[in-house]
Structures are given as C-alpha cells and as structure tokens.
Amino acid sequence: MTTHAPDIAHHAALDARMVAAARGIKVLTLASWPAQVQQRFLEGHARGHDVPPRIEYPKHDFGDVRRELDAVAAAADPTHPIGAYLVESTRSWSIAAQLLEALGTPAAGIHSAALYGRPDDPLPGQGPTAREAARHFIDIANELDRELLSPAEQVIISATALQLQLQSELDRYFGERVIAVELDPDMIAKAAAGSRRIRLRAGAEYTDYDHHQLLQHEAFVHSLTALNGREQALLGSLALSSPRATATQEGLAVFAEQITGNIDIERMKRVSLRIEAIAMALEGAGFVDVFRYFLDAGQSAEESFASAQRVFRGVPLDGGHAFTKDAVYLRGLVGVHTFFRWALRERRLRLCRQLFAGKMTLGDVQRFAPLFEAGVLQPPRWLPHWVSRANGLAGMLAFSLFANRIRLDQVSGAPGFDI
C-alpha cells in the first residue's frame, strides 16, 4: 500500500470533500450563549431573583451540507479503513448539523444524546453508568476534609498571570511561538483550546491545579492533536474536532491530567457534578434548579451559571432536555485508561503515541495501524513528555495492571490493614 494507490487517493479526495462540508458545523461555537446573558442573570441573582435566561438562537440550514456528507459516505468503501472512518465521520457531522438546525428545541437534546450519549449509558466493559461513577467521585470529594489542602493549592492566580505562565511554557516546549495564549472577556467557560490559540476567560481566577490541568488538558492534548492532524497530508479531517471523537479527546485529556499527577479530587468533583446535573435536567430540572444545585455543591454564583449553561446550551431551559456533551468525560477517561492498559498488555504501546497524530477515536487508531506502518499516515510530530517517555508510561501502566488484581474487600485483616 502506498500513498499513490488508487484506493488511498480515492478516499483522500472524499476526506477533502468532507472537510470542506464540515467546516461550518461548529457545535460549541454556534450553541454558545453571549456573555451578557450571564451578567444579567447574576445581577438578578444578587437581588434575590433567579429568572431563567432567554436565549435566541439563529436559524441554520445545513441541508446542502448534509446532502454532500451523504454523498461522501455513499462513495466510500465501508470495508476500507479510511472508507469506514469516512462513513462513521460523515454520519457524526450530519447529526451535529441537525442539532444546530434544531437549536432551542427539544430535538436538539435528542441529537445531542445521539452524538455524546447519556449519563445512564454504561461505562466501557459494561460497568456502572457514568452517573453512578459521578456519584462515587462526588461522595468521596464530600467526605474529604478540605482543610487538608495545602496552602499552595489555595493560592489564586489571575487570568493575566496564568496567560504569561502558560505562554512561557508553551514557547519553551515548541522552541518558538506556535500556540498563542489569549484573554477573552466574552467567554463563559474558563478556557478553550484550538490548534493555534488557547483562550482564557479574562477576569477569572485560577489555581495552581488549574494551571497544570490546562497545560496538560488543553495544550498538550486538544491543541497538539489538532496541530498533528494538520500535518496529515492525506486526511485533513484529523485536524478537526469531530463530534464522534469527543469522548476519546476528553478522555485522553483527563487521562493526561491524571497520569501527570495534575488532577485533584475537586476537579473530579466538578466533572462529576456536571454529569449529575445533566441527569437531573433530563429528569425535569430546569435551568434555575440546576444553577442552584451547583451553588449548593459549593460553586460560586459565576461558576454555577457557567456550569448550568454547559448543561442547557442549545436546548430548552424548562427541564426535560440537556446538552449531554459533558457526559463523555468519565466514559472517555475509563475508555482511554483501559485502552492504554490493553496496549501495554498486547505490546502495542505504539498505538498510544499514534493516538496523538490527529483527533481520532480509539477504534480509529487501531483501524489506522496499517496506514501508519505503510507511511500513508504520519506519526505525531509533537507529543506530551509523558507519552514520549515510553519507559515511564509503561512503568505506570504495568503497576496499574497488577494493582487492579488486588481486591480491596479482601485485604481486611492483612498486615497493615488490621486496624
């Protein structure tokens, strides 16, 4: 198989058509809320009046785009590794387009669940549901004494200071200015990453944990996979944030926080609270109910609004509907962690590095293995340090594989556990 083989050229041309069609399907951008909505709500909240926001979404028509995506899928060979990838990807983009056409209606929530799943979906391996896992982490976080946090963990970092710190670290990593860190006064989220820039919410406050989480999560996963995807001459779609790759992307990003020791229990709690809030919304809780849930969980009014907004962007605010993207975080984390352990056991750690060659799913990277071997796809140009240091990664995974064989319910009475 060579880069000039007819089957490769055919599917590369189809991929270019898919990229052109999908360019305008930006789910998070088009479903986001204006910053002034938050300001008005918080002003009312300060006066004791929690009034649900009124969101007017623009109308979108992606009919021509969806027809082009269907044509690409029809022309792809589903038995070919790239062809199967294109069939699955075009379907994902088409559902995302339908979601954007339905913004503000119950149908948007249905399409969201089709893209991202629901909190009651089982985790990989037919384990507990994402909601059950979320409640586990929330309970543990609530049981821990916050006074045990070290003073360093409570030091507040301004957005401007964090911008300078991250910019310096990224410039040092690349040896030049490749990713720009910018302050954005119109953001509701605290951070967002693209291939060439990372945005921080101007005026927000961060912690030292936030600093390292953003570096590992946003820069060294989301940005690096986009940059590496741009290096792919034949599959330009690997640079795009495809909805179907969301679970793997977010799982890989949280796994990066975990394996570098930069995730704390409060971070796990924040992720878990969002999953529980999605489940509450699907069961009938409205925007104000969910906002107050985050308040009661210890978040500030500003962060509670931002968290509730994540649950309701694109869908009606009166309950029974949710934007379910945040349900992927724990499912993705479990999936990626399991995949890395499997790759070690099967002596295929190379797949873990190839996962950074673009934005793909765990299934894609296995499907594409022969294409990497043949030089059709390029290995990642940039890797996080924890991935490039294969021996260290293998050591951590090997211990994880062994430790999972020890059952905690059977250690009672063993030396050191007889208290």
Which residue carries 């300001």 as its tokens? 39
- Decide: helix, strand or coil at residue 184: strand
**pLDDT band at 417, cuts 50/70/90?**
very low
Which CA distances in Å does 347 have to 44, 387, 399?
Answer: 58, 15, 15
Mean pLDDT of the region 229-238 = 96
Burial grade of 375 (CB within 10 A; 0-12, 13-18, 19 or more): exposed
Which residue carries 């044509």 as its tokens? 71
- Rounded CA separation 232/70 (Å): 24
- Rounded CA separation 201/187 (Å): 5
- Rounded CA separation 24/44 (Å): 35
- Rounded to 5 degrees, φ, ψ at 192 are -155, 145
Instruction: Name the amino acid, one letter, at 332.
Output: G
Specify the pLDDT at position 3. 44
Q: What is the pLDDT of residues 206-228, one digit of tens each?
A: 988 889 999 999 999 999 999 99
C-alpha torsion angle, residues 153, 155, 157, 161 (rounded to 10): -100
- Rounded CA separation 193/115 (Å): 21
Alpha-carbon Rg for the chain, nearest whole angstrom, is 22
Specify the pLDDT at position 419. 47
Residues near 363 by beta carbon (within 8 Å), at least 6 away in sequence: none
Specify the pLDDT at position 175. 96
Burial grade of 2 (CB within 10 A; 0-12, 13-18, 19 or more): exposed
DSSP structure string for 292-359: HHHHHTT--HHHHHHHHHHHHTTS-SSSS----GGGHHHHHHHHHHHHHHHHHHTT-THHHHHTTSSS
For the whole model, what pTM was predicted? 0.90
Q: What is the pLDDT of residues 315-364, one digit of tens each?
A: 999 999 999 999 999 999 999 999 998 998 898 989 999 999 999 999 99
